[in-house]
């Protein structure tokens, strides 16, 4: 199944957000530029295709749930 190729299909440890409240904002980096990321019900196809990760804007923890890029 193709899904196993992507990041969310792999088994990995989860990093906890240390912010209060948790996950105050998310970002990803594309070509060295920070892009706004948003939680989603399903992982966006482009995120898996590019093997991107989202991080907390406060503490930098990697976001473990589905997300996608925010519209411009």
Give the chain's domain count: 1
- Domain-embedded: residue 6: no
Query: Which domain covers residue 48, as residue numbers?
Result: 26-69
The answer to whether 38 and 70 are in contact (CB under 8 A) is yes
State what percent of residues in the chain have pLDDT above 70. 79
- Cα 26 to Cα 23: distance, rounded to the nearest angstrom: 7
- Domain-embedded: residue 15: no
Residue 53 above 80 pLDDT?
yes
The string of pLDDT tens digits covering residues 11-28 is 456 678 999 999 989 999
């Amino acid at each position: 199944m193709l899904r196993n190729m992507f990041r969310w299909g792999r088994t990995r440890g989860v990093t906890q957000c240390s912010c209060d409240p948790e996950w105050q904002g998310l970002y990803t980096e594309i070509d060295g530029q920070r892009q706004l990321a948003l939680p989603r019900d399903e992982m966006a196809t482009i995120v898996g295709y590019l093997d991107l990760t989202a991080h907390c804007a406060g503490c930098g923890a990697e976001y473990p749930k589905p997300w996608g890029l925010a519209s411009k």
